[in-house]
């Protein structure tokens, strides 16, 4: 898009005549079969500009982990959970729901192109363009009146989502993510008045908006099936978030897998699928099976990880424990270097 006279290929950039190329494309027609169209849609995430996808933290969910979440929901919420009101409020091309049938499904996303390319899927659903974080609720009434009625009537509702993971705090240079987590002034006021804090991560903002709907409409039966990093459970910086989230939702079930399962994503971190339901979470320790591909490429759980929310006063971080027992006990003078061969004039005191 930024260099219309260049064709980007795996072997490098190829100069082209943009006018002649446009004439060629406009005069040649390809009739793709339904199965071929399905293939394009299934790999859409890899066709979209990689830079933009990474900037926002948007990733295509592999089918086997979609099926895993559905199985977990059936085990936890019952086989008839799809008879409830289900809302995928960041549906993309509907890969979380496309292979399943629902009684009352709502699919919304920011990009109209995603809805257009996935129009063949979940035709029973009400699909509409909507900004879940900043969208006006009057717009929601116009586009999904049945959903608003369900909220007002306090019907059981399940949020089935894989929201973006991006935050403005990472990225460098022109790829920096500054701005992707900014909300409108109205949204900031809503979140501030209800939670008295701001959340940097976009997936945290999605959970904030779910809490906002739950409290605004006085919903008593809300469930969440969520794909996300595990930091909102374990990270110290998420303590204020957990103080609010654990008032509204209690942990039901979880699973963990390597983020490298997503296309072109680093394998140095993990993604968790967590299920939550209305209630208050008082535990803070969650057993989460770890899944990986076994024989015949089927998912297998070989171990279990304990995720700790370190907010309880009885829990001590390892760094705090080390400081407590070593402070002022083991100190020694050591030279300080400004480089590999230059020593500073002043020595420094180092603690073990």
Q: In this predicted model, what pLDDT tens digit does every residue of 50-88 receive, in sequence order?
A: 445 454 445 567 788 899 999 999 999 999 999 999 999
Alpha-carbon gap, residue 26 to 312, rounded angstroms: 64
Summarize pLDDT for 142-192 with one digit per residue, the tens. 999 999 999 999 999 999 999 988 764 444 333 444 445 566 777 777 777
According to the model, what pLDDT value does residue 14 have?
A: 86
Alpha-carbon gap, residue 282 to 285, rounded angstroms: 9
Percent of the chain with pLDDT over 70: 78
Summarize pLDDT for 264-289 with one digit per residue, the tens. 566 778 899 999 999 999 888 999 99
Relative to beta strand 85-88, strand 104-109 is parallel
Alpha-carbon gap, residue 8 to 19, rounded angstroms: 17
When pLDDT is averaged across residues 13-27 and rounded to a whole number, the result is: 83
């Amino acid at each position: 898009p930024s260099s219309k006279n260049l064709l980007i290929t795996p072997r490098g950039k190829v100069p082209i005549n943009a006018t002649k190329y446009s004439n060629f494309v406009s005069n040649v027609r390809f009739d793709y079969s339904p199965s071929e169209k399905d293939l394009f849609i299934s790999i859409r995430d890899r066709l979209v500009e990689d830079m933009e996808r990474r900037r926002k933290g948007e990733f295509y969910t592999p089918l086997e982990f979609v099926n895993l979440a559905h199985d977990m929901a059936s085990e936890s919420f019952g086989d008839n959970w799809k008879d409830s009101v289900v809302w995928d409020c960041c549906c993309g091309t509907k890969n979380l729901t496309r292979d399943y049938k629902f009684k009352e499904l709502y699919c919304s996303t920011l990009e109209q192109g995603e809805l257009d390319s996935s129009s063949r899927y979940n035709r029973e659903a009400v699909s509409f363009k909507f900004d879940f974080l900043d969208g006006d609720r009057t717009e929601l009434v116009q586009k999904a009146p049945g959903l608003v009625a369900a909220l007002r009537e306090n019907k059981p509702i399940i949020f089935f989502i894989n929201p973006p993971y991006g935050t403005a705090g990472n990225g460098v240079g022109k790829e920096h993510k500054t701005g992707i987590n900014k909300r409108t002034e109205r949204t900031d006021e809503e979140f501030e008045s209800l939670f008295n804090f701001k959340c940097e991560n976009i997936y945290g903002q999605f959970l904030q908006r779910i809490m906002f709907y739950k409290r605004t409409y006085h919903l008593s039966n809300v469930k969440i099936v969520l794909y996300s990093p595990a930091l909102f459970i374990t990270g110290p910086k998420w303590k204020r978030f957990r103080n609010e989230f654990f008032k509204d939702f209690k942990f039901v079930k979880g699973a963990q897998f390597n983020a490298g399962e997503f296309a072109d994503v680093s394998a140095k971190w993990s993604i968790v699928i967590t299920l939550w339901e209305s209630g208050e979470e008082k535990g803070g320790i969650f057993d989460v099976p770890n899944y990986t591909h076994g024989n015949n490429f089927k998912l297998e759980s070989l171990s279990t990880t304990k995720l700790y929310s370190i907010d309880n006063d009885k829990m001590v971080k390892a760094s705090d424990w080390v400081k407590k027992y070593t402070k002022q006990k083991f100190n020694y003078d050591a030279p300080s270097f400004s480089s590999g061969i230059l020593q500073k004039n002043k020595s420094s005191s180092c603690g073990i």
